[in-house]
Structure 1
Amino acid sequence: MRGLGRCILAVDKLLTNENDPASYEATTMVNGGNRLILDLRTWEQKFAFYYGTYEPELVGATTRLFTGGVFYDIGASIGIYAVTMANVCKAHCGYVRAFEPVPTNLRRLEAQISENELGEELIQIERIALSNEPGTAMMDLCDDGKPGNAKITSSGQVSVEVTLLDNIWAKRNREPVDFVKIDTEGWDANIITGGREMIRECRPNLLVEFNRERMTNHGIPLDPAWEFLVGEMKYRVFYLDEQTGVVEEVQQPGDLENLFFVREDDVERILR
């Protein structure tokens, strides 16, 4: 329908009150039956509410590439991927481990788990940030205090503990990780560096955002992560156009974001 986005914005304006933040909170079914509590002040949650889907092409490919074991949701935010993948994991006798350090997001993530009656056996939360070395970092929500994407920034208001992905994996008895989704507003490459032992042993499929603008701002290069995943680990890399649904294999990252790193045996799954 042409103009659907404009219609949504018009309806949204009628149903919300800019002077009342509570009027923007809504619960709806997203991604085929998951109840999600959303804050319609943020663009991505607004359109997830009105369209009933959130990144459907990426979620669909992720679902096809998960074959059982543990799903690592790094940068879980308010829990859209964690909740969506929980029942997929259940069908494969697996579970989600959700990594999120920001208190505002953690409260919303916990509310999503309760709303969907998902117990700890399906979603386990790690209240910590990840990087290539341990320590602490300052973080802020990207959208002016609203639950959603968060970033590491020197001007952040929240101090969070930072550790390596390999450290958490070792504490969790070197569990069989089958898929890793990383969306950390530019910190993704450092997280891969801090998770090399796990990736070498478990060889999970991955979906990595690689936000180029924020990587540049942080001075984090892509090359070491690319050389490790593609050069050493021999992953094949695919880009999925979210508008057309077309999947294309790529040899170099260029400026592409949201790249799938796929085991050779699973290539047919992403091409379906």
Structure 2
Amino acid sequence: MGMALLAYTGTPGVNASSYDLTALADPNFSQRNGHYIFTEGYRLYCAAHLEASAVRANFSVPTWNAVGKPQIYPSNVSATVPSPPRVDVRALYPPRIPLNEEFQFQATNNLGTGTEQAWGIIQLITDDFSKGIPRGQIPIMVRATASFTPGANVWSGPQTITFEQSLRGGVYAIVGAEVQQAGAIAFRIVFPRYRLYHGRKLYPGWLCQQALGDLIYPQELGGPLEWGEWGRFHTFEPPQLDLLPSASSAVTPEIRLWLVYLGEDVSLLSQGLGGGPAGQGNPVGA
């Protein structure tokens, strides 16, 4: 069906070892003891660890721990998103995330003094995720902006996307997205009428570019359409942007969206991104 981006944050101290990052407050996913906990079937598609003194990072979840200590590799030895970012990609064999278990993201550093900001980013996919591009007119890339006055190290909350030029009326599928904003860590696209996955709304997104022209995954590999359809919207209800900044200051990020025009029929909103079967947890090796 689709993707969901989630984030962890924390301030590890000197020579921190397996420091437990805290899951950011999220309107769609539950937490226990500061960790996400999942009650539907998801798979881990990719992950990223960012920290100025990063050494390594790992997940901690009972089902996986019974086999070994699951590492996240490589880490980004940087307080901001580098160009290109180092990403732990599981696309060829995305493991199922265990149901009803705390999903921890832990970071290790070689910091000499004080504390520093660390980030953990995970991209989840549903059991029926597909990279397919819906049929429609040829994909085009459009420019847009959004305005924020956010707090630091928390999701900003969805803000309206303003397109540089008005779109032809009708239904569009977003099949790729990039957001450039110095000091921002990640973004998410919020679709007003996103098809629910087992009753849950998903916010797809990814890491931000710090400067125009920065290379960002998956642009560096399969191109901006690598992840298929992100979601659909009608021009009467455009999508919104959710931003994760590292500082609390007014910003207007640059947004690039790859769109496929599907037609004028509103029923097209409910097609694609199918509901899919219920998840089955995480049998080892599944």
The two structures have a TM-score, normalised by structure 1, of 0.29
Is the strand fraction higher in 1 or 2? 2
Whose relative contact order is higher, 1 or 2, with alpha carbons under 8 Å and at least 6 apart? 2
The two structures have a TM-score, normalised by structure 2, of 0.28
